[in-house]
Amino acid sequence: MTRRSAHLADRRSVLRATGGLAVLPTAGCLGGGGADDGADGGGTGTDGGTDDGDDALPDDGDDVEYAVERVAEGFEDPWGLAFLPGDGRLLVTERPGRLSLVDPGSGTVESVAGAPDVFAAGQGGLLDVAVHPDYPDDRRVYLTYSAAAEDSPADGSGATTHVGAGRLDPPALSGFEAVRVAEPFRDTDLHFGSRATFGPDGALFVTVGDRRDTEFGPDHVSQDPSNELGATLRLTPDGDAHPDNPFADDPDASDAVYSYGHRNPQAMAVRPETGAVWQCEHGEEDGDEINVVERGGNYGWPIASEACRYGTDDPLAPGHDERGDVVAPVHYWPCGSGGFPPSGAVFYDGDAFPAWRGDLFAGTLAAQYLGRFTVEGAGAAEADVTERDPLLDDREWRMRAIAVEPSTGHLYVAVDDPDAPVVRIVPA
């Protein structure tokens, strides 16, 4: 039995004994899962290539007791979660193209009309949701989604990631329109990204995947800031390129690009202590990363990576520390580790679990658990990230999206499945 298998078996025994309430024991960092939607595997996360075991900083949140409650059920591949400020209800996107409004108290699910037509194939469809920071004074709700060229205001063939906005007047989203189209279009249904979040200055950050470009060299789309694939976009609330973007005055680059060299970022969150934007992205096979996003930063894909080539134990590229022209991740899962295919992340700042304040929570897909990371320091070069014991690792759930309920501090998780629940983690 592997270390991870033994640990999970022990945790399941604890869960049975406590009737489903998890008492998290102190243990070393555990990872797992293949890149994207690959096969499960075990592995140890690493911070800059070092183990997070005996030298890890003490964990004050390792003995928190929690229970899991089902809020609502019957969602088809839910992808994004966002609470409405001052309202308390929860917006939920489903990848086939549905948008719903959930009452957390009663579990009532109300369909919201007015969502866009989407390209719901492969990894595409209706993806993330974000609410304007001035809601309800500004009632705009933003959706990221994949759309085919015939359903897009831009020219092209194939499909690409879109950002759209409409006014939410429940039960309808009115006046919805695309405000940004990440070009170019590609004839593939893979690697759309895509997360959306507002930064502390009111700018809208959106991640776009590399659309599974396999030109693994300097000509890869992610290494070319003249296009908007494999990049983080920084937009105004109207969808225009932010005027302070790093390439705003470069005629050979897209003025919407804030950072580039990304593969497929499916998690993004703002760290309250610093206002910095953090992302988690998928590696090829293993090589999953947690990054602090810096203005104009090149994050290396695919000329620098910690991943293997699919189906091998061969490194795909030199590591980030072997190049001086890329930004290294603050935490990664190296080739051969089993990886941490991520989706959805949030920094915990609620009142329900004081011991977890400041921790980063990120969902993992193939490894089927909710990761918790303690963070010390700031910035891409100084942050010290340690993965702690996993949550919900007895449930066999793919974790797709995470949100914190403002009024209670409860953690909400959308499970990725054709017939899925949205659940919440509450104090035991």
Give the catalytic positions in this structure.
191
> Which are the contacts of 98, defined by CB distance < 8 A and separation ≥ 6?
76, 111, 115, 126
Q: Which residues pair with 277 in a beta bridge?
A: 270
What does each C-alpha distance from 51 to 43, 96, 333 come to in angstroms?
Answer: 11, 40, 10
Residue from 377, 373, 348 nearest 45 by CA: 373
**Order of strands, edge to edge, in the sheet holding 289-292?**
50-51, 46-47, 331-332, 289-292, 277-281, 265-270
What does each C-alpha distance from 201 to 108, 236, 270, 275, 294 come to in angstroms?
Answer: 34, 10, 11, 9, 15
DSSP 120-186: -STT-SEEEEEE-TTTTTS-EEEEEEEEEGGGSSS--SSEEEEEEEEEEETTEEEEEEEEEE-SSPB
Cβ(364)–Cβ(356) under 8 Å?
no
Phi/psi of residue 14, each to 5°?
-65, -45
Phi/psi of residue 421, each to 5°?
-95, 160
Strands 22-23 and 109-111, bridge-based pairing: unpaired
Tokens standing for residue 37: 């939607």
> Which are the contacts of 108, defined by CB distance < 8 A and separation ≥ 6?
72, 102
> Which are the contacts of 147, defined by CB distance < 8 A and separation ≥ 6?
116, 117, 118, 119, 159, 160, 162, 178
